Chain A
Amino acid sequence: MEIYWLLGIPLTGGIFLALWGCRKHSPEINALFSLLTLLAAALLTHRIIEDGPMTVGGGWFFIDSFNVFLVALTAFVAFTTALFSRPYMRIEAEHGKLNDKRLRLYHSSYQIFIAAMLLALTTNNMGILWVAMEAATLATVLLVSLYRTPASLEAAWKYFILCGVGIALALFGTILLYFAAEKVLGSGGTALLWTHLDGVKTELEPTVLSLAFVFLLVGYGTKVGLAPLHSWLPDAHAEGPTPVSAVLSGLLLNVALYAVMRSKVLVDGALGTDMAGNLMMGFGLLSVVLAAFLIKRQTDVKRMFAYSSIEHMGLITFAFGMGGAVANFAGLLHMTMHSLTKSAIFFAVGHATQKAGTQLMGGIRGLIKTNPTIGWGLMLGTVAILGVPPFGVFASEFLIITTAMHDHPWATPFLLLALGVAFASIFGKVQPMVFGETESAKLPYQPALAPVFLHLGLVLMLGLFIPPYLAAWYRQAAQLLGG
């Protein structure tokens, strides 16, 4: 039952906000719907804690410990982002960047986007998963181009074309999957149900599945932002409204990676080799290194953190590629930490840029004087995302790096190099933004920073203490992913 609430609420929210138009309180309503979604997610999570994994809706939806925490995470970040965007978008409108039509578009497609992602997470059907991913893409394309500036249009166009092509390839992969499954499960609807596929994964035809995995990896990998398929990502993050950047980085990438992982499980089962794992490790390392060196030359703050998202997604992919209980655990942990931290950073960055009137880091100075909360938020967020304890990102990086050193020592020099370069670049650019003198005046309005510190608080908490049931989820999920 909760599942229908979970999917229904944001969908109706989207439709409602589209019809109701941009009135005075539509931001609040947006937040409200997100809150309801969060509640639904909480109920669902509760159910799963109670009864364990289950298929609902006549086998159309399948919830296990792997996707339930992603669902919870998605709903949560979606809610906090809605909270953040409430004052943020208002001010954008006051600055004349947006008119009511656009705000309306923003709110409705925001909800649709959330709905699509939740569908992608919960569905049991690899085909529907694809459909949902495509839908999410379409929704975000509109969000990215919201400002209608040449740059945003260009970004949106690239986003659309590249991800469209990628997703098309993923469809081809899905077809091949179906093709292989059909042999075993017979044609008809059930052959794409993940639960069924998982049951018979060892009987699936290896050659077909390896081929399918290539298409799926390249397809969904484009959305994950794995190098060299990442080109759309920095543009989309930099040019879209900040809340959108937050959810893109924090959620969409995770969902795409979720799709990859679901197919990896099947392929591993079918092949019995770690070909899939090796591919992912390769992509992961490449992304980490390339992103690190690209971060080094950024001048636009949002673009820089977009590249940092690529870096972290690469790290997660690498972890999943290594496989094994610890690495998978670390990967899942890192997914969570990255979503929370990165969205928090984008919140802080959003206010900072809004205040400075520019996204160029050269134009943002001495935040700690003009607005200490933003300053500390950005500083702590940066420190956290760079993997400095006691923040949780370190916990996962700790596990990943030590495991890599133990199982795949050859990879560690690259990691060492990349993490060092990334640290130097990001911190070297953020420090003068936060510290130092500035002549710009104090912030005229009260920023919504509760989300920032909420997220950072959670990350800090998880770095020092992971609640048992959460840990249990991670463990089960790691098992699921072939730990």
Chain B
Amino acid sequence: MALSTQSTTGHGQAAAPRRTDRGVIGAAAIVVFGTAGYFVFPDNLALLTHIISTMLLVLAIDLVTGYCGVATLGHAALFGAGAYGAGIAAAHFGITEPLTMTLVGVICGSIAGLISGIVVLRAHGLAQLVLSIAVIHLFQEAANKASAWTGGSDGLSGIMPDAVFGRFEFDLFGQTAYVYGVALLLVTFVLLRILVRSPFGMLARGVKEDPVRLAAMGASVQSVMIRMYIISGAVAGLGGALSAISTQVVGLDSLSFTLSAETLVMLVLGGTGSLYGAMVGTVVFMFFEDTVSAANPFHWLTIVGALLIAVVLFAPKGLYGTAAAFFERRSRAGKGRDGA
């Protein structure tokens, strides 16, 4: 008995740092790819920034869908709330300091997260999906009606953010916006990485895998999900704020069912339940879409559809999920041989 305890101690110690390493690798990857993007595509920073703000929304969906098992086709509500929050702060209240605008976006996103969480969490499965659809339509219609504040379907313009730290201006070449976006993504990734490994992250996974068991441990399933929805709202709101700051305009599409559905597709494409899956899915989908639609703006939809079908057929756990499972199997097989 003593022996086995000892060996496990070793195991535990070995396992914990290994997981941390993966987090460090992720953060390092963001820095490397972020820097590479800056130098390899210096003329394409607007698209890259657009990808980053969408990626934040996809990460937000992953928090509730991948970690808590909530089915949602209405998550753009949180993103749009952040975008309009930051945009309205700048256009109507003269809050043009970018960090403050970002903060406003995060707060508005969290509030929208709380509201849509309260509605969406009242049902499961298909009914939940439909509730989320109703929520996004109500949000969009509300924004359309409040055109004095939001600009309605013409979009909210007149957002003129100041220079970051008074030095770096948001200009045509989009360098500032891009670097700002990468920085926000990095910070978010690190925080989320800590979150999903934390006890609360375990609770969330518990909600997804068996809510009855979790309740029998004394945890309140509803409270875990609501808290996760608020956090998810903060992340999505951050993405929205980044979008508002970098493009200096907010449209009703940021509160649309289309955006919700498209970002859910990106998440599933990459693989749910992993921060990497969310990021990989976004990058692959958006790059693919951009390339294909630039090559053939008239018929790219067919090719994107074929990609989605191919992923279901050949990578059912999503691109990242399937790759991760493959390497895990290989490394296990390798270990098995070592043991024998």
Do A and B assemble together?
no
- Show the binding face of B for A, using Cβ within 8 Å: none
- Show the binding face of A for B, using Cβ within 8 Å: none
